[in-house]
Amino acid sequence: MKFAACVTIAFSIALSLPLATAASVSANAAPEQCRFVQEKAEREACYQRQEAARADRLKQQAAREAEQSKPLEPMTSDDATLARAMRGICRGC
């Protein structure tokens, strides 16, 4: 009897965990819906918050893209000298 009760409880917990996790993720990921705010001042403040968040996201994305486009190691003068020397080795091979 105790085993059946434990299995029933474990089964109900196993079913409720994914539902609770999905609900909390969707609540955090849902964007604020400003068009449904009734008062004009609150609605304008909502739009300003969204615009500030959008500007921050764009700034972070631009910083990431700039970081990714930088070369890993800058070319030194020694590398330039070596490239000129290699260019002079073989002419018309």
**pLDDT by residue (tens digit) across 28-41?**
556 778 989 999 99
pLDDT one-digit tens code per residue, 21-75: 555 444 455 677 898 999 999 999 999 999 999 999 999 999 998 888 766 666 7
Task: For residue 42, give both structure tokens.
Answer: 């609150």
pLDDT score, position 62:
93
**C-alpha distances in angstroms, 20 versus 7, 14, 31?**
20, 11, 19
What are the sequence ranges of the domains in the chain? 31-69
Backbone φ and ψ of 2, nearest 5°: -65, -35
What pLDDT was estimated at residue 26? 47
Name residues whose C-beta falls within 8 Å of residue 31's C-beta, 6 or more positions apart in sequence.
50
- CA dist 50 and 55 (Å) reads 9
- Of residues 7 and 51, the one with the higher pLDDT is 51
